[in-house]
Amino acid sequence: MQIIEMKAIRSIYYTHKRFLLRNPTRLSVSLSFLSRHFHSSNARLALNSPETDGTHETHRVWTAFEPLTGELYTSSSSRESSNQYDESGSEDGANADFETEGTYGKAKSANLSDGEKAQKGFSDFNNRSRYSSNENADEMSRKKAFSGNELVFGDIVGNKKKGKGKVRWVCEYCGYSDGQWWGVCRSCDNSGTMRRFSEVETKNRGLEFSETVVRSWLPKDAGDVEPVRLVDVTRGIKKMDYRIPLSGPFGNEVARVLGGGLVPGSLVLIGGDPGVGKSTLLLQVAALIAEGHGLGQPACVVYVSGEESVEQISSRADRMKIGANELYLYSGTDIEDILVKIRPRSPRAVVVDSIQTVYLKEVIGSAGGLSQVRECTSALLRFAKKTNIPVLLAGHVTKTGEIAGPRVLEHIVDAVLYLEGEKCSSHRLLRPVKNRFGSTDELGVFEMSQLGLQAVSNPSEMFLSDQNSDSEFLAGLAVAVIMDGSRAFLIEIQALCVSSSTVSRHVNGIQASRADMIISVLAKQAGLKIQENAVFLNVVSGVSLTETAGDLAVAASICSSFLEFPIPSGVAFIGEIGLGGELRMVSRMDKRVSTVAKLGYKKCIVPMIAEKSLATLDFGKMEIIGCKDLKGVINTVFTKY
């Protein structure tokens, strides 16, 4: 029997050697192929291992590894046990038919030599390997067992992970990466240094991760939540606990925009142009909460910055004279790290500056990308709602003035505030665009100074220029009252009529079509012959006049310059002009007139219908004069005085 086994080994050895020579691409496979990838359950050779199942047939089983596909192939064949060995002691495989039957075909050979038969078997093996690469993976995984002559395909341990991924070529000398192979590195010009790497994309687990992190803040039975009656929700809660108060002139101005204070568990997004003062505003709000003037005692607040180091933030706080002991600074961009580090502090509020710099490691994409911004905001929202800790975010804006990132970002947060301001002006306006806990008609007015943002004590006169003239009359100057949110502002409108000029008309801060209409109505309905004159209109302080309440002030300034009759100081104009020259009512007339009265104006020109509605209100010593049309305004202002 030993002679038969030696013949079988010799036959397979020489056949495998010829197989390697005919397939030079597989020369990297060592000759240990036989000892490593042919196996049997007993001491006999796998190719010659008979297993009897009690019948007259024996089953031969062998398993081989295909290096190109990385799979194991297991095959079995059956023959009668009486033909297993012949009388001369030669192997059955040398004299009997070599028969292999599988899924993709059947190969038979008869009366062949040992080497030819073995070579035929390797050829069939290669054909199966080529076909198996196109077989459905699910169909392959279902073939767990074999019977008779069926082939079984299986994945070998250590096979490459299946999934989508990108291939990158990275230079091992300088680290340059490229999407394709060039032979030489395009950065350092070294050849043979490009190595192939595969980037396998991972599943986006941002929601799962954020839930896991936030869950560590909650008690163990937090998942057992049941519906609660409305009266039980507010029972035992003081009304003052609904808001975190912000004290002082600055705090009152911010609280006005937020609807009365900062709501616990809310997510507030503050946007604005670079350099407008978002970080300054957030640092001042954090200092107010940390000092705890409205709460009676200091409270911990964590200020997280992904753009500045703690030394830079401390330098800015020192310049602004901020010295709150419970204000903690942290510089980081990893959301997981941020939530883990602030957990031991149990802060009253958290500030993140900015949302475009933080990221989640489990989310694909770089910081500031659409997916990162959306998932980070969602994670912070769940953190705020489940821990009742308010979170304030700073957000950059695009060239069009909108918050950078996906539009859904503004739908996720509870409040969106925009900090606006011109580069040539020190004034800043904090305007709410969305507020789930208050009105969006409020407006905060600040002035940027060396100590940070300061609340403007009298915003109504911030757009009024200083009248340094010796006379109390200024020709071509009229005061209009406009509304921005719930705030009333007084602005100055200047007009200049020139009889000879190369430019027929020029306006600044007023809609050109609106100015043309007012000039045409003055010429047609008031009888002023101003068609031959060049008219220049300007709004002081660079403000844009967009509402129709300033029509009467524009017409009064043009009449003053054309008639060369100055309008007395202390007179304001409120009203809309129709095409027939009539004066029309505008909204919030009582609010506008009340603001004029607080600033000490003597007279206010309004439409006739508004005079009747304002007669019941007390405006002090200010006189309200009602006019029906433009002719009445001219007779009242330019002839009575």
Encode pLDDT of 578-630 as tens digits: 999 999 999 999 999 999 998 889 999 999 999 888 888 888 889 999 999 99
What is the torsional sign of CA 545, 546, 548, 551? positive
Q: Identify the pLDDT of residue 281.
A: 96
- Residue 430 has phi, psi (to 5 degrees) of -105, 110
Give yes or no for residue 98 having a pLDDT over 70: no
Percentage of residues of the chain with pLDDT beyond 90: 37
Tell me whether residue 52 is exposed, middle or buried, using C-beta atoms within 10 angstroms of its C-beta: 0 to 12, 13 to 18, 19 or more: exposed
Q: Residue 533's pLDDT band (boundaries 50, 70, 90)? A: confident
Alpha carbons 248 and 128: distance in angstroms, whole number: 83
327 against 14, higher pLDDT: 327
Per the listing, tokens 């009888």 go with: 527
DSSP β-bridge partners for residue 177: 170
Per the listing, tokens 């939540």 go with: 225
Encode pLDDT of 225-278 as tens digits: 678 888 787 776 666 668 898 988 999 999 999 998 999 999 999 998 888 999
In angstroms, the first-to-last Cα distance of the chain is 137
Q: What is 473-638's CATH number, 1.10.3720.10, 3.40.50.300, 3.30.230.10, 3.30.2350.10?
A: 3.30.230.10
Give yes or no for residue 300 having a pLDDT over 90: yes
Encode pLDDT of 422-472 as tens digits: 877 888 999 999 999 998 988 999 999 989 999 998 888 788 766 544 445
Give yes or no for residue 215 having a pLDDT over 70: no
Q: Residue 211's pLDDT band (boundaries 50, 70, 90)? A: low
Q: Identify the pLDDT of residue 628.
A: 93
Task: Give the H or E element holding residue 478.
Answer: strand 477-484
- Residue 628 has phi, psi (to 5 degrees) of -85, -40
Measuring CA to CA, how many Å separate 110 from each of 19, 100, 118? 20, 12, 12
Mean pLDDT over residues 50-54, rounded? 45
Percentage of residues of the chain with pLDDT beyond 70: 66
| Secondary structure of 433-476 in HEC code, one letter for each residue | EEECCCCCCCCEEEEEECCEEEECCCHHHCCCCCCCCCCCEECC
Q: Residue 199's pLDDT band (boundaries 50, 70, 90)? A: low
Alpha carbons 545 and 551: distance in angstroms, whole number: 9
- Is the separation of the CB atoms in 317 and 287 below 8 Å? yes
Exposure string of 344-362, with b = 16+ CB inside 10 Å and e = fewer, is eeebbbbbbbbbbbbbbeb
DSSP β-bridge partners for residue 584: 576
Q: Identify the pLDDT of residue 580.
A: 93
628 against 169, higher pLDDT: 628
Q: Residue 212's pLDDT band (boundaries 50, 70, 90)? A: low
Give yes or no for residue 58 having a pLDDT over 50: no
Q: Identify the pLDDT of residue 214.
A: 52
Give yes or no for residue 520 having a pLDDT over 60: yes
Alpha carbons 397 and 273: distance in angstroms, whole number: 6
Per the listing, tokens 């770089």 go with: 366
What residues contact 221, with CB distance under 8 A and at least 6 apart? none
Measuring CA to CA, how many Å separate 543 from each of 421, 425, 482, 508? 11, 11, 11, 9
- Is the separation of the CB atoms in 387 and 428 below 8 Å? no
Q: Identify the pLDDT of residue 183.
A: 82
Give yes or no for residue 12 having a pLDDT over 70: no
What residues contact 424, with CB distance under 8 A and at least 6 apart? 542
Alpha carbons 153 and 139: distance in angstroms, whole number: 9
Q: Which residue from 90, 88, 103 is spatially nearest to 135, judged by alpha carbons?
A: 103
Q: Which amino acid is at 511?
A: Q
Encode pLDDT of 123-143 as tens digits: 444 444 444 444 444 444 443
Alpha carbons 71 and 131: distance in angstroms, whole number: 12
Q: Taking the model in full, what pTM does it have?
A: 0.63
Q: Which residue from 465, 489, 213, 508 is spatially nearest to 338, judged by alpha carbons?
A: 213
What residues contact 513, with CB distance under 8 A and at least 6 apart? none
C-alpha of 229 from chain center = 36
Q: Which residue from 153, 68, 145 is spatially nearest to 103, judged by alpha carbons?
A: 153
Encode pLDDT of 386-415 as tens digits: 899 999 999 988 777 677 666 778 889 999
What is the torsional sign of CA 434, 439, 442, 447? negative
Per the listing, tokens 């397939």 go with: 23
Q: Identify the pLDDT of residue 73.
A: 53
DSSP β-bridge partners for residue 428: 446
Q: Identify the pLDDT of residue 216.
A: 55
Alpha carbons 185 and 89: distance in angstroms, whole number: 63
Return the CATH number of the domain spanning residue range 240-457.
Answer: 3.40.50.300
Tell me whether residue 367 is exposed, middle or buried, using C-beta atoms within 10 angstroms of its C-beta: 0 to 12, 13 to 18, 19 or more: middle
Give yes or no for residue 528 having a pLDDT over 90: no
Q: Residue 295's pLDDT band (boundaries 50, 70, 90)? A: confident
Q: Work out the number of other CB atoms within 10 angstroms of the CB of residue 275.
A: 10
Alpha carbons 78 and 90: distance in angstroms, whole number: 19
- What is the crossing angle of helices 114-132 and 2-22, to 10°? 50
Measuring CA to CA, how many Å separate 613 from each of 261, 620, 624? 34, 16, 11
C-alpha of 17 from chain center = 61
Q: Identify the pLDDT of residue 167.
A: 80
3-state SS assignment for residue 432: strand
